[in-house]
Amino acid sequence: MKQFDPATSFGPEVAAHYDDYLRGDEAAAAAFLAQLAGDRRALEFAIGAGRIALPLVEHGVEVDGIELSPDMVARLRAKPGGDRINVTLGDMSTVTTGRRYQVVYLVFNTIFNLLTADDQIRCFENAARHLAPDGCFVVETALPHAWIAPNQPDYVHAEHVGMDTIVLDVARYNPVTQHLEENHVHLSADGISMKPIVCRLITPGEMDLMARIAGLRLVERYANWERSPFDIHSTAHVSIYRLDQPVRAGETQRRKDMQSALHISPSILAADTANLAAAVRAAAAGGADSLHIDIMDGHYVANYAFSPKTLADLRRVTTLPLHAHLEVGNPDAVLPLFAEANMIIVQEDATPDLAATIAAIRQLGCAVGVAVNRDRPVEPLLPVLDRVDLLLVMAVEPGFGGQPFDASVLDKVHWLHVQRAQSGCGFAIGLDGGINAVTIAPAVAAGADFFAVGSAAFTGDITAAVQQLRTAAGA
């Protein structure tokens, strides 16, 4: 369909009326997903207006989302509880939240909205990137034959016939591109309106192959959310995929370690920059959860380090989430340069309007981190705690590695821990600077669960260092 743009197909008019056509399976879907998630977090690709996410939250599951349409997110935000769900704006096949989840899910044929095989494969790869080692990716779609009969590539269906309104579904299928081009035509006394959409239909077998390319494997398949058997009479499927990783020496213990809430983010400021690619690969193999990249411009701190090109280069050597920590004088001016990052962390005292900066980072499709220096109060950040993914407390003066840990900042960590428990917000509480096998235990006891680790990670064997940190933390 010429001039069709998926990015604009769920605009304000569609968002305003999206809830007019609920499917009636919301409760069953939420119960199914809640059983898989247990007491851990879930991520919905194309979260939309929260048709599934909000019922899932009612089961006690913390849900994050990725969504391409700002209008759909606005619709979600307007609903009770919708403002408590963290949503990252962007393409579900590429955008990341910087977290790992027990369940990533994609419902109601939405993977068909990606119009090339490459994009659909990238969606599976992005799901795998977000999964905890024992997590699962759940996909729900119709079967193509339920929409397209053999030798009948075109059709017109009467979706609604009323006294003053008629809605027709006019469609054409191209078996070469696998595109189903549809237009929902509304006829009424007010005139004619059209709602076009294009889907790329794929079979369960194609989906399974895409999953294998992404390092996933099919473990269960049902005909619906009630777990009815999938058979030759099925017209839809709910498929569950898990990571398909070979078990190597020590891998079982490493997976167990990484299932904990403890997040280890080695800071490449302490790495050997002459062999940075090798250091990063070692960090990934050694059990790191992400990479911490300090960006310094010589203004906010008296040092220079790394650049947007660093992130682009690292993308070629690792699939670990990349966290860009902007220790710069004017972060708002350079935010778009770091859109490649999974998370952008800004210093709270470096921007005149922190709320606006947080919103700008979200618009880039990145997760949001806010860092506070050890001599700054943390209480003024209370209004933004429900808008961030990470609150990072600096335990040293920013700018240089190798400084000793300042234990007085643990009071800030404990205050944040109390606020998080009372508010139900889902942000991580982090510490940056001086983290080692001695200092990590009291930090965890105070409530921290995210650690940017420099010298302790990149001095010697990083696999042993990460394991030592997790052991010392009791993870």
Which of 212, 243, 274 delimits the end of a domain?
A: 243
Read off the tokens for 233: 């009479």
The CATH number for 440's domain is: 3.20.20.70
248, 1, 214, 202: which is closest to 128 by C-alpha? 214
Are 92 and 123 spatial neighbours (Cβ–Cβ below 8 Å)? yes
Q: Are residues 358 and 410 in the same domain?
A: yes
Q: Is residue 259 part of a domain?
A: yes
Across 143-214, the runs of DSSP E, i.e. the strands, are 154-161, 165-174, 179-188, 191-200
Are 358 and 331 spatial neighbours (Cβ–Cβ below 8 Å)? no
Angstrom distance (rounded) from CA 221 to CA 243: 16
Angstrom distance (rounded) from CA 86 to CA 100: 14
Which of 243, 262, 296 delimits the end of a domain?
A: 243
Q: Are residues 430 and 342 in the same domain?
A: yes
pLDDT reported for residue 475: 64
Q: Are residues 78 and 101 in the same domain?
A: yes
Which amino acid makes up residue 250?
G
Average pLDDT of the segment spanning 190-194:
89
Q: Is the pLDDT higher at 180 or at 244?
A: 180
Q: Is residue 22 part of a domain?
A: yes
Q: Are residues 160 and 75 in the same domain?
A: no
Q: Is residue 1 part of a domain?
A: no
**Where in the sequence numbering do the catalytic residues fall?**
294, 432
Total structural domains within the chain = 3
The answer, yes or no, to whether residue 259 has pLDDT greater than 70, is no
pLDDT reported for residue 7: 67
Q: Are residues 215 and 189 in the same domain?
A: no
Q: Are residues 236 and 286 in the same domain?
A: no
Q: Is residue 103 part of a domain?
A: yes
Which of 243, 261, 295 delimits the end of a domain?
A: 243
The CATH number for 78's domain is: 3.40.50.150
The answer, yes or no, to whether residue 1 has pLDDT greater than 70, is no
Q: Are residues 370 and 454 in the same domain?
A: yes
Angstrom distance (rounded) from CA 106 to CA 43: 9
Q: Residue 399 — left, alpha, or beta (φ > 0 → left; ψ -120 to 50 → alpha)?
A: left
Are 156 and 168 spatial neighbours (Cβ–Cβ below 8 Å)? yes
Q: Residue 424 — left, alpha, or beta (φ > 0 → left; ψ -120 to 50 → alpha)?
A: left
Q: Are residues 370 and 257 in the same domain?
A: yes
Angstrom distance (rounded) from CA 6 to CA 114: 8
Q: Are residues 348 and 306 in the same domain?
A: yes
Q: Is residue 429 part of a domain?
A: yes
Are 292 and 283 spatial neighbours (Cβ–Cβ below 8 Å)? no
Q: Are residues 138 and 281 in the same domain?
A: no
pTM of the model: 0.54
Q: Are residues 406 and 421 in the same domain?
A: yes
pLDDT mean across residues, the chain: 89
Q: Are residues 280 and 189 in the same domain?
A: no
Which residues form the domain of 196? 149-200
429 pLDDT band, cuts 50/70/90, is very high
